[in-house]
Amino acid sequence: MNKYKLHIVVYSWFLLLLACEQDDICLDTTVGSPKIIILLLDSENSDFRKFPEGFSLRAIGSKNNLLVSIGDSIALPLNAQEKVSQFEFISTQSGEENIDTLQINYQRIDRYINRGCGYRSNFILEPTPITVLNPGNNWIKGFKILKDTISDETTAHLGILH
């Protein structure tokens, strides 16, 4: 009887190993959804990159500043559950905050990777990618689409003119 139990354990173990698939695990090398790369550009010369004085950034609904900088550009996570993401772009000059609330508009394309990783979203900017939610005395003067498809983080996608 003891030999019988050993066979059951060995066969069960073998079946368990066959039941697990390699795609149940998400490898560290699997690339997730890309962030949008934004350049802050001079409004008079859009080839010149320029950070505003006292610049900070905040996601709508958050009290914490969010500034993910990649050299002279900003990488922002887009909301993979929606077709818009909203941020407050803040310029502080002479102790006064000037907050421009921008909505980034995009289409989302989801691609299934595997059971372990789930889905990866790629994004395509709308023809009008930016909506200013608080018009008035804005320090941001406009925008420029540099690359409309957001599938990687190697090049800039959007330029903000100020």
pLDDT in tens, 21-65: 555 678 777 778 899 999 999 989 888 888 877 888 888 877 777
For residue 34, the 8-state DSSP code is P
Give the CA radius of gyration of the chain. 23
Instruction: Fill in the amino acid letter for 140.
Output: I
pTM listed for this prediction: 0.78
**Percent over 70 (pLDDT), the chain:** 81
The pair of three-digit structure tokens given for residue 64, joined into one six-digit string: 């914490």
pLDDT of residue 93: 82
pLDDT of residue 14: 58
Top pLDDT among 104 and 62 is at 104
pLDDT of residue 155: 92
pLDDT digits (tens, 9 = 90+) for 22-31: 556 787 777 7
Q: Is the pLDDT reported for residue 17 higher than 70? A: no
Check if the beta carbon of residue 123 is closer than 8 Å to that of residue 78. yes
* Close Cβ partners of 64 (under 8 Å, ≥ 6 residues apart): 58
Check if the beta carbon of residue 129 is closer than 8 Å to that of residue 105. yes
pLDDT of residue 97: 87
Band (pLDDT 50/70/90 cuts) for residue 137 is confident
